C-alpha cells in the first residue's frame, strides 16, 4: 500500500491527515528497526559470534518477515481508512469519480437541452 494521500489542511481532512501521519510514523519505525537489526548483525559478525553467511541469511529472513509485516500493515491501514471514511460519511475516491461522471453526463444533457431551447 501506498501511504494515504496527503490532502490540504482543513477541518474536513483531519482524519486522513492523522492516518497519513500514523502511516509515516509506522514506516519510520520499521526503517529504524531494519537499521538496528543490520547494525546488530554486523556487530555479531565483528565479534565472531556468527559468520557473515549466517548473518546474511538471518538478516534476509528478518527482512522478508518485515516486508510481509509492511504489506499487512498497508492492508490494515486501507481497511482502517475505509472504515473511518464510512463512519464519517466521507465518500471514497471511487464514489467521487462516479459522482463526477454523473455530473459530466448531466452537464452534457443540460447543454443539449439549452441548445434546443436557444
pLDDT tens-digit series, residues 92-108: 788 899 999 999 999 99
**In angstroms, how far is CA 103 from the centroid of its own chain?**
29
The residue that leads in pLDDT, 62 or 19, is 62
pLDDT tens-digit series, residues 45-69: 999 999 999 999 998 999 899 889 8
Contact 62, 44 (CB under 8 A): no
| pLDDT of the residue at 15 | 65
- Model confidence at 11: pLDDT above 80: no
8 secondary structure, DSSP code = -
Give the other-Cβ count within 10 Å of 61's Cβ: 10
| pLDDT of the residue at 77 | 80
Q: Measured on CA atoms in the order 87, 88, 92, 98, is the torsion positive or negative?
A: positive
Amino acid at each position: 500500500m501506498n501511504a494515504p494521500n496527503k490532502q490540504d489542511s482543513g477541518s474536513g481532512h483531519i482524519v486522513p491527515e492523522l492516518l497519513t501521519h500514523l502511516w509515516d510514523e509506522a514506516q519510520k519505525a520499521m526503517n529504524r528497526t531494519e537499521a538496528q537489526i543490520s547494525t546488530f548483525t554486523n556487530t555479531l559478525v565483528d565479534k565472531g559470534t556468527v559468520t557473515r553467511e549466517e548473518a546474511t541469511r538471518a538478516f534476509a529472513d528478518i527482512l522478508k518477515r518485515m516486508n510481509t509485516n509492511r504489506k499487512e500493515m498497508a492492508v490494515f491501514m486501507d481497511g482502517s481508512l475505509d472504515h473511518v471514511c464510512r463512519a464519517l460519511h466521507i465518500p471514497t475516491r471511487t464514489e467521487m469519480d462516479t459522482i463526477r461522471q454523473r455530473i459530466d453526463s448531466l452537464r452534457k444533457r443540460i447543454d443539449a437541452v439549452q441548445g434546443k431551447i436557444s
